[in-house]
Structure 1
Amino acid sequence: MRATYSPLHFKPAIESASDAQCLACHKEVLEDKPRVASPAGVKAADSLAWYQRTSTYSGDQDTFHRRHLTTPLAKKLMNLKCNTCHQGHDPREEAPGSSATAAPQSDNAFTLRKQVNPETTCLKCHGQMPAKEIMGLPGPWHEVKEMFQNDCLTCHAAIRTKRHQVTYLNAEAIEAMAVAGKESKTADDVCYGCHGGRSWYRIAYPYARNAWPGMGDITPEWALQRPQHSESRFLKAEPKP
């Protein structure tokens, strides 16, 4: 019970908590490994998980947290921390009737609290790509990508060029990997992988419109409600002259 109410599970302490502090109690999230074989006897080595089918992933099947924190791809392209997604939660609100201030058991509309808010975390990399609505493409990317040589940089070498400048991504590595994939025509696995290719939701994430060189003065209608810069907690410190 004392650990449940540790200050690290609440704001503001969670915002500055280090991975070492979190993993002191939750180290099992990195130590657990997938089963060698399923209960039905299917060996993991003889089957491919969905993420193993992409050109950007290499290695054996791995667990959710390890794929986001410790695999070669995660270390190369991402810089995720425990508190990138986990921003603390009040255990008194986990279920209805759990405390004097929680929703009553009779409240059928109550939704159990999640450990993270997927709308502000998971959706960033697992949302849909609004290819037609925003980019004006003639169809979904997986249907029209050959028209663009399977290369997002065909257009995005000059459009929205200030991207990935957040602390939880390695911007230089992402750009370099996308450029390296141009010859093999696998560049879109890098970009599309996080912009629709691994979508778990039916909606898209409303990315901030960080100003880029040559950006027009007119804001399109679909972007009127978009923020003008990324979330403050993820902004990179500007290098001092």
Structure 2
Amino acid sequence: MKQALAAAALTLLVSAGFLLWIAEDMAPRAEFVAHVEPPQAAETDYLRAAYSPLHFRPAIETAEDAQCLACHREVLEDRVRAASPSGLRAETLRAWYQETPTYAGEQDTFHRRHLVTPLAKKLMSLRCNTCHQGHDPREEAQGAAADSARQDDAGFTLRKQVNPETTCLKCHGQFPWQLMGLPGPWEAHKAAFGDNCLNCHAAIRTKRHEVNYLNAAAIEQAGKEGADACYGCHGGRSWYRISYPYPRTPWPGMPADVPEWAKNRPTQSEARFLGGVAQGTRP
């Protein structure tokens, strides 16, 4: 009797388990959803950005300002401090460049003074790659390797720096009065020449300023209005004790004899500055 009851109980348990399995198998199942990674933010890898082809030749030679400013816009949005750490307020002081007669306006930052201030827009047409020409990814400073570019017109330093002897010196060198045969510095003797550079340069070295980082027509007009516009870039803002050896581009009526100091001068500007020469003012 006991064996019969045990067998019946076992049969009942097996039947109940089978029914539960059937019910679970027939129940509606949730739709399968493939695993999807959550959306990722744009990649911000520093090395990928630092070694972008845009930072090197040849891409940097044709780079547009908009491409540079996509990452470096702070150079135009930055402003000078309202007050120095010692409490001196900017509006009560004058920066060195505000002492030049051709600068007008409040103090401004380095890049803005060269790109977007009224004087920069009127007389210049500087671009980011006028000064920034990239660097060799194999080395930190050009000229360090035997086969790398020299530190001259064909070689610039570091991605974020420039070779000042081939950029800054163009407009921030000394006034070479000795080469011009003047009795002394322009500031001391300009009255003797009517404070007018065109008294001589209406006929001498008349082929000038025809490079794509300057607005030649606007510069010539400014020179007619006063010598301060000329002197502003030819000695008036000198950072260096030397002058820039400008190319001696041939001009109509140029004497056949070449002065000793000019015998090693090039006869035209670097090739990259000759394409798309700017005329007049830019927008």
Q: Shorter-chain TM-score category?
A: 0.7 to 0.9
- Whether the 8 Å contact between 1:206 and 1:226 is mirrored in structure 2 is yes
Aligned pair partner of 2:128 in 78, 82, 87: 82
Shift of 1:8: 0.8
Matched, 1:226 2:273: no
Aligned pair partner of 2:101 in 12, 36, 55: 55
Matched, 1:203 2:249: no
Q: Assess, with a 3 A threshold, how the Cα gap between structure 1 residues 237 and 43 changes in structure 2: closer, same or farther.
A: closer
- Supply the distance in 2 between the matched residues of 1:157 and 1:174 (Cα, whole angstroms): 14
Shift of 1:113: 8.6
Post-superposition Cα deviations, 1:19-62, rounded to whole Å, max 9, x if no partner, equal 00000011110010000111111111111111111221111100
Q: Which AA in structure 1 matches 2:180?
A: M
The answer for the alignment partner of 1:171 in structure 2 is: 216
User: 5+ unaligned residues in a row in structure 1: which ranges?
Assistant: 96-110, 181-186
- Supply the distance in 2 between the matched residues of 1:178 and 1:205 (Cα, whole angstroms): 20
Shift of 1:188: 2.2
Aligned pair partner of 1:212 in 244, 251, 262: 251
The answer for the alignment partner of 1:11 in structure 2 is: 57
- Whether the 8 Å contact between 2:169 and 2:244 is mirrored in structure 1 is yes
- Whether the 8 Å contact between 2:100 and 2:236 is mirrored in structure 1 is no
Aligned pair partner of 2:227 in 164, 173, 188: 188
* Greater Rg by CA: 2
Matched, 1:148 2:193: yes
TM-score in terms of structure 2 length:
0.73
- Supply the distance in 2 between the matched residues of 1:237 and 1:12 (Cα, whole angstroms): 18
- Supply the distance in 1 between the matched residues of 2:54 and 2:93 (Cα, whole angstroms): 39
Post-superposition Cα deviations, 1:45-81, rounded to whole Å, max 9, x if no partner, equal 1111111112211111000000000000000000000
Shift of 1:213: 1.0
- Supply the distance in 2 between the matched residues of 1:237 and 1:69 (Cα, whole angstroms): 18
Instruction: Report the RMSD for the aligned CA atoms in angstroms.
Output: 1.8
- Supply the distance in 1 between the matched residues of 2:100 and 2:185 (Cα, whole angstroms): 18
Q: Which AA in structure 1 matches 2:181?
A: G
- Supply the distance in 1 between the matched residues of 2:134 and 2:117 (Cα, whole angstroms): 25
- Supply the distance in 2 between the matched residues of 1:16 and 1:85 (Cα, whole angstroms): 13
- Supply the distance in 1 between the matched residues of 2:140 and 2:93 (Cα, whole angstroms): 37
Shift of 1:122: 0.5
The answer for the alignment partner of 1:46 in structure 2 is: 92
- Supply the distance in 2 between the matched residues of 1:164 and 1:179 (Cα, whole angstroms): 14
Aligned pair partner of 2:77 in 15, 23, 31: 31
- Structure 1 stretch displaced more, 113-122 or 6-15: 113-122
Q: Assess, with a 3 A threshold, how the Cα gap between structure 1 residues 89 and 236 changes in structure 2: closer, same or farther.
A: closer
Q: Which AA in structure 2 matches 1:22?
A: C
User: 5+ unaligned residues in a row in structure 2: which ranges?
Assistant: 1-46, 142-156, 278-283
- Supply the distance in 2 between the matched residues of 1:75 and 1:220 (Cα, whole angstroms): 35
Q: Assess, with a 3 A threshold, how the Cα gap between structure 1 residues 113 and 32 changes in structure 2: closer, same or farther.
A: closer
